[in-house]
Amino acid sequence: MWWNHDNTTGHASGWRGERDLAALACLVLLTACSSLGPKSISRDQFDYGNALTESAEEQLLANMVRLRYVEAPKFLNVASVINQYALEGQVSAGLGFGSSFSGGDTQSLGAAAKWADRPTITYSPVSGQEFSRNLLTPLPPTALFSLVQSGWPVDLVLRVTVQSINGIQNESPSPRLQEPADERFFPLLAAWNRISREHVVGLKQVEHEERTAIVVFFPPSGASPQLADDLAFVKEALGLEPDLQEYTLVYGRVPGDSSEIAVLTNSMLEILSNLGFYFDVPPEHVAEGRTGPTFTAEEHGAGPPLINARVAEERPKDALVAIENRGYWFYIDDRDMNSKRTFAFLQIMLSLAETGERAVGPVVAIGG
């Protein structure tokens, strides 16, 4: 007789084997699904963070080069990043019994998995009122002196961001002026920088008067001769009343009287455009009228340029950031610490400009 106990037992054992293998496959798939989310957090945060940083740096450098060639900048911000993962599994098992017609017994086991990574990235172009607020609004003097207090050097912050202080003119790299700084400008920054390093400069908010004060606090033993000389020089250069303890900081080109410090700041668009004219460009582009000449700071007694993007025909191997434009590669050398510092400062300035804070008048107080 064909159907006997042994065969029945064999088929039952085969079925149990299929069932056990199917259960094991399901367990593996379920385990993978359960651990997918937590493991993806650190990897995604790092990868997307790096990608966003590199993209923002390339966009900033590209827009500075565009402005250098008298083209309108274009900013496209990443508004959101949403990533969805899916891991789907399917397990199938089959068992067939043989007969005199069909032949021997058959067994089958199958498992399939499908992996899907679905990132959704939302871009937001900077235009209209947002463009005007972020790029065309002059930076507030209060924010600049806050940066100085937080440790950024005075010569970097003020040289990058201001046109003049009490009428003392900064250098102008733009071809429409391309003029050196007033002979008092860089000595003024140097003296203010030394004052700042003495840790005697502080900010205070006078809430009831809606103003901010910058105060110089002297050590109990009094000021050092160098500090006293620097304070006297700053007051004299700016035309300030030497006996006053507090000076109002206003936005503007010329102070109203000897109790004011008038700071004419640049907008971010002006800053990026000015700094672009420190960049190297192919000489033929200047000769052909594609762009203006490079501003050479050393020729005007200003020391090294604030920032320098070099130019090459092939993609550079040792660059902090590089972009291609007009068949050339413009890049910031990773070994150029001065340019890297200014480039990092520009990224902070762009974040500051996004707050939309207007240039209004706080107060500077200089004890002496």
Whether the Cβ atoms of residue 78 and residue 123 lie closer than 8 Å to each other: yes
pLDDT above 70: residue 293: yes
Q: List, for residues 29-51, the tens digit of each pLDDT value.
A: 555 555 555 666 666 667 777 88
Query: How high is the pLDDT of residue 172?
Result: 87
Whether the Cβ atoms of residue 265 and residue 138 lie closer than 8 Å to each other: yes
Q: Cite the DSSP H helix spans in the chain.
A: 5-68, 128-131, 141-149, 154-161, 185-197, 225-238, 268-276, 283-287, 337-353
Most confident of 67-76, 172-181, 191-200: 67-76
Query: How high is the pLDDT of residue 3?
Result: 41
Query: How high is the pLDDT of residue 158?
Result: 94
Averaged over 164-184, what is the pLDDT? 88
Q: List, for residues 119-166, the tens digit of each pLDDT value.
A: 777 877 777 777 777 888 899 888 888 888 888 899 999 999 999 999
Of 93-107, 165-179, 343-357, the poorest mean pLDDT is in 93-107
Query: How high is the pLDDT of residue 123?
Result: 74
- Token pair of 32 as six digits: 């993978």
Q: Cite the DSSP H helix spans in 69-104.
A: none
pTM attached to this predicted model: 0.75
Query: How high is the pLDDT of residue 323?
Result: 96
Domain ranges of the chain: 5-125, 129-364
Of 61-75, 120-134, 352-366, the poorest mean pLDDT is in 352-366
Average pLDDT score, the chain = 78
Comparing CA positions, the residue from 61, 50, 52 lying closest to residue 122 is 52
Query: How high is the pLDDT of residue 127?
Result: 75
